[in-house]
Structure 1
């Protein structure tokens, strides 16, 4: 296979100052790869709530930093120790860079390896990300994309998909059980509904936006409830739906509203589980909502490399419909941010960085 020509510079959308717009600029292509690195020609990259946190300085990100930790594309170069990928492979970018390999999480159960606290960074969070023509990612946390899955879908799955896939698995519910999702009509929520339904669960979608309620229904939620009706009415409706067990078997919280975690506990049956994904400054739960009702409250983030491969295998077999709002070219970054900040967007905001890759993959049979 002929090696692709890699230019010395590329276009990138960078955070150059906190609480300021992205700056579209020309930067060097990151060709100085470590042994486990991949250089990926980005096909698509998407916006996540975490990107707004990066721009706000929440993670004390060293600046300048290229945005987006959700990207997918084609491998053009590999590090000396990489054996799982080669040039030409379609890949969903990993987020963690250079895990230490020695801590309890790295050496512990595979489904905890992504919790390594001693990485060299995270793509698009404290290291340069996917709002660029090329990105450096770690092969050990990246995932091959099956021919049936589009790179446009794979980009938002890099964080939103991985995170909610793990969440649905972590609650441990069997077929026919009730799962509630607070914040069901967002980028993670509509994907989570589909994962849950395709695993045989019954889903209650709870959202506070008209667009979110519509998308929750379109994604397949069995019941959709408007959170704006207030906690008492939402809980009453959940109890009506779930009958004698009086609540969902488990609830996933994806909304970062001040009252979201408390509502999630309230709609969960006694002795059930509330899994917190959203990252508000403080997670606020009145004691009587979880102590007196024996609610198990736990957190979760991303997923391990093994779980990521399982997700992709599941999607290749069962399909997924990622609701995408497409923007063509990195030059559209400001349009994307404006639409996101208006709060009227459905699903994920995605920039098509390389249209040629997207055209080619149709020949492979990409349909999800």
Structure 2
């Protein structure tokens, strides 16, 4: 397969901050792989909220840079030290690149290993990412896709999926307990609803858009609440379905300026608010922290082992990723336009490797 790799490929690049992506033909990477790297032919890549932050200069990107850190594809070539994968394997491309392996986070609790302070970079943030026909990834961080998980469903799991899964890990709830999700009808939220339901939680989804409220219902939330009713009414409704105590824990995936405060308000006394959204400032009244002992736990993605667990849950529970499809790299600007419209349900995904996608259809497997 290595001999079939073209010298040039199409990619969507950040060429100048605060400007739209440019679609360019660039050199295909991977000619000289690091021993721990793999060259992957990208099948599907999706757009993430963080991509917009990168466009504004967040992350220390060296321009030009290929965008997107949510990709799935087929292994073309592996570095000499990679034993777990081979050419032809279908993989989820983890955004983390070259953790040091020796710092306290790398050797500490496995669920914190993604916080390595000496990391070599992050795909689509400060290294070339998935909006390209080929990308170089760290083979120690990728995950093999279950046979019934499609490239199209997998790509958003590389960040959106593992991010909310990591939030669930930090919420530390048991089956039968309740979880509120602020922003439950968005790209991350609708996945969080399904993950939470799959592990036996009672899910309360809170959103402010008609499209989001409907997606939350379609995703299986036990209770769906329109935040436009006002904070007091939302808290009242949460209490009414939790025996008067509010949710056992809350995950906030909305970057609205009032979202964290609402998340704290719908969490029971002594409960945990997991903050995933990344607004410039997280604002919560002191009364929630001091008088009600609400604990705020920040959460950034999840580890490779947690990613494997997430993929097992997706495979076994037929979890659906709501996607909006675009055909080819040249349609990346259309995906961005939809994401900014406020009318989108789920995630925008770009279909890149048509042959790989056709082969999935011919496999005869019922794909999620």
Name structure 2 gaps, 5 residues minimum. Answer: none
The answer for the alignment partner of 2:152 in structure 1 is 152
Structure 2 CA distance for aligned equivalents of residues 214 and 355 of structure 1: 31
Cα deviation code 1:174-218 (max 9, x no counterpart): 111110000001111000000001111110000111111110000
- Cα distance in 2, alignment partners of residues 116 and 59 from structure 1: 15
Match of 1:54 in 2: 54
Which portions of structure 1, spanning 4 or more consecutive aligned residues, are displaced by more than 3 angstroms? none
Shift of 1:60: 2.7
What's 2:176 paired with? 176
Matched with 2:214 is: 214
Deviation at 1:169, TM superposition (A): 2.3
Matched ranges for 1:232-247 at <5 A: 232-244=232-244, 246-247=245-246
Give the 5 Å matches for 1:303-314.
303-314=302-313
For residues 1-368 of structure 1, the aligned pairs below 5 Å read 3=2, 5-31=4-30, 32-244=32-244, 246-364=245-363, 365-368=365-368
Distance across 2 between alignment mates of 1:337 and 1:315: 26
* In structure 2, C-alpha distance between the alignment counterparts of 1:120 and 1:248, rounded to whole Å: 38
Q: Give the distance between the partners of 1:358 and 1:194, measured in 2 at CA.
A: 25
Q: CA deviation at 1:112?
A: 1.5
SS at match of 1:60: coil
Tell me, yes or no, if the aligned pair for 1:176 and 1:202 is still in contact at 8 Å. Answer: yes
The root-mean-square deviation of aligned C-alpha atoms, in Å, is 1.0
Which secondary structure does the structure 2 equivalent of 1:242 belong to? coil
For the Cα contact (< 8 Å) 1:325–1:347, is it kept in 2? yes
Query: Taking structure 2 as the reference length, what is the TM-score of the superposition?
Result: 0.98
CA contact (8 A) 1:150 1:366 kept: no
CA offset at residue 363 of structure 1? 3.4
- Counterpart-to-counterpart distance in 2, 1:112 and 1:60: 23
The 3-state SS of whatever aligns with 2:4 is: coil
Structure 1, residues 145-173: CA drift from partner, whole Å, max 9, x if none? Answer: 01110010110000001111121122111
8 Å CA contact retained: 1:147, 1:366 = no
- Counterpart contact for 1:190–1:347, Cα < 8 Å: yes
Conserved? CA contact 1:94–1:140, under 8 Å: no
d(CA) in 1 for partners of 2:75, 2:212: 35
- Work out the CA distance in 2 between the residues paired with 1:161 and 1:362: 23
Structure 1 unmatched runs, 5+ = none
Q: For residues 107 and 60 of structure 1, what CA distance do their matches in structure 2 show?
A: 26
Distance 1:140 1:113 in 2: 13
Deviations 1:204-238 (A, max 9, x none): 00011111111000000011111111111111111
Query: Is this contact kept in 1: 2:180–2:203, CA < 8 A?
Result: yes
Equivalent-residue separation in structure 1 for 2:66 and 2:87 (angstroms): 23
| 1:45, distance to aligned residue in structure 2 (A) | 0.2
Number of residue pairs aligned between Structure 1 and Structure 2? 366
- Separation in 2 of the partners of 1:316 and 1:225? 29
The CA deviation string for residues 245-296 of structure 1, in whole angstroms up to 9 with x for no partner, is x200000000000000000000001011100000001111110122210111
Counterparts of 1:3 and 1:178, CA distance in 2: 50
Deviation at 1:366, TM superposition (A): 4.7
